[in-house]
């Protein structure tokens, strides 16, 4: 197969899309307190600025992958960007909390179309180029931590020198430029005939959203209240219904046989718990820096840059070498354990603390843990599937990470609120609440390390062919 001469320019567009999708989860971090003041979010509901995006993104990724197959990857990539731009405009002009959450959900829908379509386009562009494909995947993969790093810093700069709506406005010109480049550099991938599992998409997304909402509301209503129990039961029914639909549907979003792939289940469990530990750490560390240490928006963004930059450097320059030497399982297990250690260090934050003592050491240790887990778990999840199932496996692992992020943040917010994180201005109570969230996230990460030890397999090395011996007569 001859190489597409546009492939490296196309990779730039696809990597930029990955960069922007991930940046959309981090750029809001520093702006959260300003958004809370301007739009009237309660401490409990503020997390929906993140969760609305994460639930829509994670819940619809499988549907996005299926639409990419049916309609063609370039068309779905284009539609996704148009939706992301529309959501960004809605989030920027919001004047109340409900509109803001709706805008973030629309952004998540767009991202759920962009991400699987981009991966499909990348595989098409570099098909038949075995020497170039690993480099292309490394560049595309590095765009994720780069987006996380840029989002934290840009969010601080924009919030300090402009205002919080501009963290969404920035997506409009970049999105329009991307759309203008699509016809010139991205190949037109034809769609395929087949059905669309609408019922499966509705059930999985509805189940995830209802579960997150129930956990968010539980501290106020009570975990044993009728409302909480009914919502959790409804979420379980919807998610169980999704599994049944996948078994019966002619064209399921997620054929259940893919779970027979070695390490797919274990790697996705690790990714779920990674998201459930990492995102609460990032969320509450930002709130601690601003609400307890008193950092302004720009200073808060700058305070989180060492952690994210260090993580990106490790992912790009070190993790790949460690995978080649040790394999994926040891890195996943040790990385989750290191993340638990970093969270344990952050749990010792003090109301009279400082950045150098209370924030920097624990955040850097946590970054080491994240860098050891994310890429190895992704590789373990997709490494054993058939080539035609690579997009599906990639969609599943992205989904589990986003689902873990949303559920983990909801659970840790409930824990933090119960310990005083909702008492704005009461520094001892805020510190106790944030510390409780860090402890909860550390327990999740440590549990992930233990489970990964027993659920992941170490691939057997391929047998080495021995040269034939010639016998002299």
Write out pLDDT tens, residues 155-176.
878 887 888 899 899 899 989 9
C-alpha span between 282 and 152 (Å, rounded): 10
**437 and 266 in contact (C-beta within 8 Å)?**
no
- Cα 152 to Cα 55, 158, 413: the distances in Å are 21, 10, 20
Q: In this predicted model, what pLDDT tens digit does every residue of 48-104 receive, in sequence order? A: 887 788 778 877 877 887 788 778 888 999 999 999 999 999 999 999 989 999 999
Q: In this predicted model, what pLDDT tens digit does every residue of 327-356 receive, in sequence order? A: 889 999 999 999 999 999 999 998 888 889
pLDDT of residue 467: 46
pLDDT of residue 469: 46
Highest mean pLDDT: which range of 252-266, 278-292, 396-410: 278-292
If you average pLDDT over every residue of the chain, what do you get? Answer: 82
pLDDT over 70 (residue 398): yes
pLDDT over 80 (residue 466): no
pLDDT of residue 149: 66
The region of weakest confidence among 36-40, 80-84, 122-126 is 122-126
**371 and 335 in contact (C-beta within 8 Å)?**
yes
Nearby residues of 203 by Cβ (< 8 Å), 6 or more positions away: 238, 239, 241, 242, 245
pLDDT of residue 151: 78
pLDDT of residue 465: 44
Hey, what's the torsion of the CAs at 73, 79, 83, 86, to 10 degrees? 140
pLDDT over 60 (residue 142): yes
**Cα–chain-centroid distance for residue 466?**
45
Count Cα atoms within 13 angstroms, Cβ side, for 156: 20
The token duo for 18 is 């990955």
Q: State what percent of residues in the chain have pLDDT above 90.
A: 25
pLDDT over 50 (residue 471): no
Best CATH choice for the domain 1-185 from the list 1.10.275.30, 2.40.160.40, 1.20.1250.20, 3.40.190.10: 1.20.1250.20
- CATH classification code of 259-456: 1.20.1250.20
- Cα 300 to Cα 28, 59, 170, 382, 387: the distances in Å are 12, 31, 20, 36, 43
Whats the size of the chain, residue-wise?
473
Hey, what's the torsion of the CAs at 107, 109, 110, 112, to 10 degrees? 120
pLDDT over 90 (residue 269): yes
Q: In this predicted model, what pLDDT tens digit does every residue of 293-333 receive, in sequence order? A: 988 767 877 888 888 788 878 877 788 788 888 888 999 99
More confident residue, 152 or 404: 404
pLDDT of residue 17: 85
C-alpha span between 353 and 362 (Å, rounded): 13
Residue 233: other Cβ atoms inside 10 A:
12
**408 and 444 in contact (C-beta within 8 Å)?**
yes
pLDDT over 90 (residue 273): yes
pLDDT of residue 460: 52
C-alpha span between 18 and 80 (Å, rounded): 12
Q: In this predicted model, what pLDDT tens digit does every residue of 197-249 receive, in sequence order? A: 788 878 887 887 788 778 777 767 777 888 889 989 999 999 899 889 888 87
pLDDT of residue 128: 67
pLDDT of residue 133: 67
Whose structure tokens read 């499988």?
62
Whose structure tokens read 């409990």?
44
């Amino acid at each position: 197969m001859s190489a597409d001469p546009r492939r490296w320019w196309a990779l730039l567009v696809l990597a930029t899309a990955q960069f922007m999708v991930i940046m959309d989860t981090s750029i809001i971090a520093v702006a959260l307190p300003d958004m809370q003041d301007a739009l009237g979010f309660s401490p409990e509901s503020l997390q929906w600025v993140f969760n609305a995006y994460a639930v829509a993104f994670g819940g619809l990724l499988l549907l996005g992958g299926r639409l990419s197959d049916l309609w063609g990857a370039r068309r779905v990539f284009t539609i996704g960007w148009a939706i992301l731009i529309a959501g960004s405009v809605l989030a920027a002009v919001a004047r109340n909390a409900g509109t803001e959450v709706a805008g973030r959900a629309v952004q998540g829908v767009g991202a759920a179309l962009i991400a699987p379509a981009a991966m499909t386009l990348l595989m098409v562009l570099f098909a038949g180029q075995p020497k170039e494909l690993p480099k292309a995947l490394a560049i595309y993969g590095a765009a994720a931590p780069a987006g996380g790093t840029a989002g934290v810093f840009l969010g601080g700069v924009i919030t300090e020198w402009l205002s919080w709506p501009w963290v969404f406005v920035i997506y409009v010109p970049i999105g329009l430029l991307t759309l203008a480049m699509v016809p010139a550099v991205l190949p037109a991938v034809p769609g395929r005939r087949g059905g669309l599992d609408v019922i499966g998409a509705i059930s999985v997304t509805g189940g995830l959203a209802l579960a997150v909402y129930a956990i968010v509301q539980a501290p106020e209503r009570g975990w044993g209240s009728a409302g909480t129990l009914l919502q959790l039961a409804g979420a379980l029914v919807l998610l169980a219904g999704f599994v049944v639909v996948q078994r019966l549907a002619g064209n399921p979003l997620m054929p259940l046989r893919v779970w027979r792939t070695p390490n797919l289940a274990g790697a996705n469990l690790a990714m779920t718990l990674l998201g459930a530990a990492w995102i609460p750490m990032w969320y509450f560390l930002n709130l601690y820096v601003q609400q307890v240490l008193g950092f302004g928006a720009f200073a808060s963004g700058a305070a989180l840059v060492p952690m994210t930059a260090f993580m990106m450097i490790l992912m790009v320059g070190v993790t790949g070498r460690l995978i080649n030497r040790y394999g994926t399982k040891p890195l996943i297990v040790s990385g989750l354990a290191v993340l638990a250690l970093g969270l344990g260090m952050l749990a010792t934050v003090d109301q009279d603390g400082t950045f150098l003592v209370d924030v920097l050491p624990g955040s850097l240790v946590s970054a080491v843990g994240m860098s050891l887990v994310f890429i190895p778990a992704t590789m373990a999840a997709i490494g054993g599937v058939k080539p035609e199932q690579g997009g599906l496996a990639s969609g599943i692992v992205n989904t589990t990470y986003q689902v873990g992020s949303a559920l983990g943040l909801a659970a840790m917010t409930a824990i933090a609120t119960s310990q005083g994180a909702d008492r704005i201005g009461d520094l001892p109570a805020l510190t106790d609440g944030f510390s409780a969230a860090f402890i909860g996230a550390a327990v999740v990460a440590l549990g992930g390390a233990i489970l990964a030890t027993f659920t992941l397999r170490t691939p057997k090395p391929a047998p080495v062919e021995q040269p034939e011996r010639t016998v002299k007569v």
